[in-house]
Amino acid sequence: MSQSTKLEFHIGKIGGMVPLLTMVGLMLLLTFNGVGGPKAAWAPGFIAIILGMFLVKSKRDYFQSILDGIADKTGVVVITAWIFAAVLGSLMKAGGLVDGILWFGMSTGIQGSMFLIIVFMSTAIFAMGTGSSNGANLALAPILFPAGVYLGADPAFVALALLSGAVFGDNVAPISDTTIVGCTTQGADFGATVRQRMPLSLTAGAIALVALVVFGQGDGLVEAATQNGDSARPESLLMLLSVAAVVFFALKGRHLLEALSYGILVATVVGLGIGAFAVSDLFTVPSERGVSNGIIEDAIAGVTGAVVFVILILGVIKIFMNSGIMDDILAFITERVSSSTRSTELLMFFSTSVSSLLVSSNAPSQLLVGPTLVKPLGEKNNITPERRANLMSASVCSIFYMMPWCLAVMVWYSAVETSAISSGLAVPSASISFMAPYPWALLGVMMFSIITGWKRYGNQAQAQVQPA
């Protein structure tokens, strides 16, 4: 079946929403009962697919749609990047970087909620350099989550600092897919777009950091940190060179997978050089079937839950897209739009948000509404291409990152969950994503900007001010 072929349901186009709503509803049920997560989403996704089969007229087209969704290039790239980033994170942890950071925290006195600033900035820099919030969380959560908890920060806020920093980095990164898609669909200048969003993003980032410091102090396991810090070797901080290698090559324009590969190589060389692990720890022939053959296998196994979740959600989303209901939603919105700048910007922002929640992904949602809704409405109401691109980017970096069924949020939680379990720490609930400081701060800043016109046009000399 071609991608343009529409599915027909016995109950009309609304039938295309049933599998998606079923999967999301069951996932939220599990989340609010404290048992959410990627693996917990497997059964909801499977149930949703089977349920939809009874509503569709052509079963063959229905299941071909699911296969088309699973085979989507975006999903393949995301899954592959996750695997590489997970291996990098595992190598850094095996290299003793957690203990090295504990030593740093104990030596400098940067502990408790103050350490969350380092967590936020570390993931922000990684995501800014690579353009990937997913890669930042998968690579750094195994290191920074246990370190933050041991240094006395609240576990939930350590996790939220990881998420917030990664989203901030993704939001301001010129090489982020959300930036690229937003600018491309609107015909916006990349440099001007990034410059104009910086005051908005930096304001939201400052608010998020204040929230993390004020509320992020935990009961404290500083005694455990002291014990670990006493045995830690400062040379394990050399493992940070692998992060530097990833960011360096990503900023040089290399493919994300290539940059991650260089980071993996650096982590391997440093780890072997300081004696943190041996070649046999990376790969060996196990003594019996079912026993791990090394760090690489364990790392990949750690993202299996998220990978299967992606396969299921991509299939369910394709059912929704091929039902044609999204086209009707966009047409309905376009016909009823107001002509004022303020209301048009609000419509652009929330339409992109709703789209991202429905398709569980940010850049694809921009591809969906960017050319069909945002661009024509923006041109009609004299909203600059850069402003339109920034509205879309902020939209998919705010509400989207609060919802536990969205892909990037699932990746973050999977990384935190795996890190907590491997470190013997309590696993925070997936529902804490609803409290993510940076997404909330960015939402508030953008609403203020839209309503008041603050930073609406960036450099006032470059654009004619339009009445709100």
pLDDT-based confidence at residue 468 (cuts at 50, 70, 90): very low
pLDDT score recorded for residue 432: 93
**Choice among 158-167, 334-343, 376-385 with the minimum mean pLDDT:** 334-343
pLDDT at 466 over 60: no
pLDDT score recorded for residue 305: 84
Q: pLDDT, tens digit, for every residue of 344-359? A: 899 899 988 988 888 7
pLDDT score recorded for residue 24: 86
What average pLDDT score do residues 134-152 get?
91
pLDDT at 465 over 70: no
Please give the structure tokens belonging to residue 381.
């109401």
pLDDT at 103 over 90: no
- What is the gyration radius of the CA atoms in the chain, in angstroms? 23
What average pLDDT score do residues 437-452 get?
96
pLDDT-based confidence at residue 467 (cuts at 50, 70, 90): very low
Place of tokens 């004696």: 275
Q: pLDDT, tens digit, for every residue of 175-193? A: 787 888 888 889 888 888 8
SS3 294: coil
Mean pLDDT estimate for the chain: 86
Count of Cβ atoms closer than 10 Å to residue 278 Cβ: 10
Count of Cβ atoms closer than 10 Å to residue 203 Cβ: 18
Please give the structure tokens belonging to residue 382.
């004299």
Q: What are the backbone angles phi and psi of residue 232, rounded to the nearest 5°?
A: -75, 155
**Choice among 230-244, 262-276, 300-314, 427-441 with the minimum mean pLDDT:** 230-244
pLDDT score recorded for residue 460: 34
Sorted by sequence, the CB contacts under 8 Å of residue 413 that are 6+ apart come out as 36, 37, 38, 159, 404, 430, 433
pLDDT score recorded for residue 401: 94
The CA distance from 96 to 235, in Å, is: 9
pLDDT score recorded for residue 76: 80
pLDDT score recorded for residue 222: 60
Strand partners, 217: 153
Q: pLDDT, tens digit, for every residue of 123-139? A: 999 998 888 888 899 99
What average pLDDT score do residues 440-447 get?
97
The CA distance from 72 to 353, in Å, is: 21
Pair 397, 351: CB distance under 8 Å: no
pLDDT score recorded for residue 456: 82
What average pLDDT score do residues 316-341 get?
78
pLDDT score recorded for residue 464: 41
Rounded (10°) angle between helices 407-422 and 73-94: 20
CA 257 from chain centre, in angstroms, equals: 17
Identify the residue with better confidence: 144 or 250.
144
pLDDT score recorded for residue 160: 97
In the chain, the percentage of residues whose pLDDT exceeds 70 is 92
Strand partners, 56: 9
Q: pLDDT, tens digit, for every residue of 243-294? A: 899 888 887 878 878 988 999 999 999 999 999 999 999 999 988 887 888 9
pLDDT at 433 over 60: yes
Q: What are the backbone angles phi and psi of residue 61, rounded to the nearest 5°?
A: -65, -35
pLDDT-based confidence at residue 231 (cuts at 50, 70, 90): low
Q: pLDDT, tens digit, for every residue of 26-72? A: 988 888 887 777 888 899 999 999 999 999 999 999 999 999 988 87
pLDDT-based confidence at residue 3 (cuts at 50, 70, 90): very low
pLDDT at 2 over 60: no
Identity of the residue numbered 25: G
Sorted by sequence, the CB contacts under 8 Å of residue 17 that are 6+ apart come out as 320, 323, 325
What average pLDDT score do residues 81-85 get?
85
Identify the residue with better confidence: 367 or 140.
140
In the 8-state DSSP scheme, what is residue 37? S
What average pLDDT score do residues 19-32 get?
88
SS3 455: coil
